[in-house]
Structure 1
Amino acid sequence: MNKNIVNVCAGLGLAMMSSAVMAESTPVMFSSINGFSAPASNEVKGARLTVFHGTAVSVTGVDFALLGLSEATDVTGVNWGLLGANRVHGEFTGASFGLLNWHNGNDTGANLGFINVTNNVTGANISAVNYSEGYTMVDVGVANLSSNSVVQVGLFNMTSKIEGVQVGLINCAENGFFPCFPFVNFAL
């Protein structure tokens, strides 16, 4: 009898340890509302599909938001918001496609969408509206607003500090050769 109890306890212990190891990383994940993720994991190394709302700590690979919001702390690879939005709270490296790309941390790569809300971008923001509270290397859109930018191309461009050039119908930069000037503006 004691031998059976020991075997059962050993088996349960191994099962719990293997499920804890499996829960750390998964090659595929499906996420939806109320924190549902199958399999339950914090890290995806492969592909994740989100319908309505999904969260993960880290995604390396492809992150699809079929409909709704896909959230992650860090993403390396491709965010693809087919009919949805991508939100990255920390580091992003790769390409992000979506109706809304909402990135609070540092981005390296490209954000292509209808609206890009970013912080620091080493790469390009391309959308109808690009809004950044930090530094952007290149913004191309109808309206581009940032704190600090190297290049802005659009109908309306506005930044506190331009390091390169603004090209558009209206170009505003606090350090520009004029605070607002049509067609082109650049730093003095």
Structure 2
Amino acid sequence: MKLKMLLAGLTLASTVALGAGPQLSVAPGLQFGATKYDSIDNFSFNLLGAENQSMSGFDLSLIGYRQINGNFNGGHLAVFGFEAFRVAGDMTGVSLALWNDVGGNLNGGTIGIVNTTRGNATFNLGGVNYVEGKAMVQLGFVNYSQSVGGLQFGFVNATQNLEGIQVGFVNYAANGILPVLPIINFRKSF
């Protein structure tokens, strides 16, 4: 009995010290292999969603809600696409979901109907792309970024600070050759 208790204690201590994983989650709060306070270091399979502290590796979800309270490094795939994927910190990697929401910087890409990033973003492909910081490439129906350092390609493109090019039906750039132009817009000193 003492040996079983010792092994259980060592297993728990190594999980806390080294990070948890792999994880199987039925729904947030009903998770096996990790809790919402644990970091996943390899693989997570989620039926209706999951919540963890941070994640490094591959995250596979069917539908639902996926929350990472810290940073995410790796790949995320919502198999049926009907999922909200939220990262409170920085994301390095790629995510395919209905809604991708990154609270920090995105170094990689998001593919979804709606993509929101509160820091800087490398690549967004979706219906609506919204970046509060600087975006490098945005491809979508409606694209907004505080600053653009590369390309916005969509039906409607908008930015305050354009350091690249906009291609679309309506292009707004506060520092563009003209603030609003159809088809193409670029900054004044391009």
Report if TM-score (shorter chain) is over 0.5. yes
Report the counterpart of residue 75 of structure 1 in structure 2.
72
Change (3 A) 1:65 1:34: closer
Change (3 A) 1:14 1:47: closer
Report the counterpart of residue 155 of structure 1 in structure 2.
155
Offset of residue 179 of structure 1 = 1.2
Equivalent residue of 2:127, what SS? strand
Output aligned runs, 1:9-158, within 5 Å.
12-13=5-6, 15-23=8-16, 24-41=18-35, 42-72=38-68, 73-82=70-79, 83-150=82-149, 151-158=151-158
Offset of residue 114 of structure 1 = 1.3
Output aligned runs, 1:154-173, within 5 Å.
154-173=154-173
Q: Any stretches of 5+ residues in structure 2 without a counterpart?
A: none
Distance of 2:12 and 2:87 partners within structure 1: 27
Ranges of 4+ aligned residues in structure 1 off by more than 4 Å: none
Report the counterpart of residue 183 of structure 1 in structure 2.
183
Cα contact 1:64–1:70 (8 A) shared by 2: no
Aligned length: 181
Equivalent residue of 1:161, what SS? strand
Identity of aligned residues (%): 30
Cα contact 1:50–1:69 (8 A) shared by 2: no
* Amino acid across the alignment from 2:90: E
Distance of 2:153 and 2:24 partners within structure 1: 38
Cα deviation, 1:65-118, whole Å, max 9, x if unaligned, reads 211111112111101122312111111111111111111111101111111111
Equivalent residue of 2:8, what SS? helix
Q: Any stretches of 5+ residues in structure 1 without a counterpart?
A: 1-6
Offset of residue 174 of structure 1 = 0.9
Structure 1 or 2, whichever has the larger Rg, is 1
Higher strand share: 1
* Amino acid across the alignment from 2:34: A
Normalising by the residue count of structure 2, what TM-score does the alignment of the two structures yield?
Answer: 0.87
Distance of 1:166 and 1:130 partners within structure 2: 14
Change (3 A) 1:34 1:62: closer
Equivalent residue of 1:175, what SS? coil
